[in-house]
A and B are shown apart, each in its own frame.
Chain A
């Protein structure tokens, strides 16, 4: 079946512009995660959605970052007034329940801020 889909796969933007990154999770997966991965580094947790509960935003690095999940499915990560340090790969993952099951990852969006 279809996996987690992220778009665009690559995004180059100028410093100061806003960007939107999209994630289509696997159908029926109630939990959705966003992570950020800088070159050669581990995954930095950003935000986590679980069903209709309030999202866990504890990993968002600044108020320039926000995320929505509409209808319990598609999610959009928005970065306002992008900075060069925002350059990274943004990974989305989903899983079917609250815990105890593996994450399914998309291939990520590579963001480059010039």
Chain B
């Protein structure tokens, strides 16, 4: 079963604008990760935020995590046409087994228009 649910499913913005994508999940987690996928390619890791962190930055990326609401957001600032891709959140499930199974959401398709 899928753990993460992203919204919106699709987002279209103009170059230079900010893009915000949200992810909700259901169970306790060790960490939450965001990935990017260009069409026809594998996924590329963007950023990881641990369950005891609330915010993390990497370049033009800002990720927040609210474990009380079981939600995370990814903000891409000053977007570029090259940011056009699908973005996925993934959760490292935490449980008695701590299996390390990483569950992905359905993704947000971002289109940045030049």
Which residues of A does B touch, CB under 8 Å?
4, 31, 33, 35, 41-45, 48, 50, 56, 58, 91, 93, 97-108
Contacts and interface: CB of A to CB of B under 8 A. Distances in A.
Contact of A99 (B42, B44, B92, B105): B92
Chain B binding surface, main DSSP class:
strand
A58 B30 CA distance: 20
A46 B90 CA distance: 15
Interface of B: 2, 30-31, 33, 35, 40-45, 48, 50, 88, 90, 92, 98-107
A103 B100 contact: no
A102 B100 contact: no
Contacts of B33: 102-103
A4 B42 contact: yes
Contact of A45 (B40, B41, B98, B104): B104
Which of B2, B42, B90, B99 is the most central at the interface, judged by chain A CB atoms within 10 Å of its CB?
A: B42
B101 A98 contact: no
Given A44-B2, A98-B100, 19 more contacts: A41-B106, A42-B104, A42-B106, A43-B88, A45-B103, A48-B99, A48-B100, A48-B101, A98-B98, A99-B100, A100-B31, A100-B48, A102-B33, A102-B45, A103-B33, A107-B40, A107-B41, A107-B42, A108-B42
A4 B30 CA distance: 24
B41 A99 contact: no
B45 A35 contact: no
Given A41-B106, A42-B2, A106 B100 contact: no
A43 B42 CA distance: 11
A43 to B, nearest CB: 4
A98 B43 CA distance: 19
A42 B105 contact: yes
Contacts of B41: 107-108
Centre residue among B40, B98, B102, B106 by max chain A CB count within 10 A: B102
A102 B92 contact: no
A99 B104 contact: no
